[in-house]
Amino acid sequence: MELHSDKTRLIQFGRFAAADRKRDGEGKPETFDFLGFTHICGTIWKSGKFTVKRKTVGKRMTAKLKSIAAELRRRMHDPIGETGEWLQQVVRGYYNYHAVPGNLRCMSMFRRAISRYWWCVLRRRSQRCRWTWVRFEILLVRYLPVPQVKHPYPLERFYAKHPR
């Protein structure tokens, strides 16, 4: 087994990466994509301590949204409840994986994009569309869950199991 030379490289990443790169006159530390997240060197706003920020990889989210849009288009004339339950499962599964601290904005964008796709598909079902956004929001509340962080930071999980 060998490492792929285009995909493998050493980068400065960690607690002192920002200070070291600033001292050397190089810009911000590099980011890398791993397991569907872009990992970024950052600091906690209140304390200024180092933290690894994670957000969903843009290409991965775009691909998922395109596949959902195509499936919604295919299910255009299915009953609304059936489509809503399917969409609820898909969105809940996406949230279960991507619900890490700091990724709430990306998950909200995902929910907004899906709701817009679904609204456009419902409006396209007939030539006399009666779907206003106010009426559609009732379906959103019923079927699409609101994003929330489900995976705490690793230290918080560890402390909950092994208090000192």
pLDDT band at 5 (very low <50, low <70, confident <90, very high): confident
Angle at 15 between CA 13 and CA 16, to 5 degrees: 80
Q: What is the pLDDT confidence band of residue 164, given thresholds at 50, 70 and 90?
A: low
Summarised one tens digit per residue, pLDDT across range 10-67 is 777 777 777 777 778 787 777 888 888 988 887 777 777 777 888 999 999 999 999 9
| Closest C-alpha to 12, from 27, 45, 36, 153 | 27
Q: What's the pTM?
A: 0.81
Q: Which residues pair with 50 in a beta bridge?
A: 43
Residues 6+ apart with CB under 8 A from 27: 21
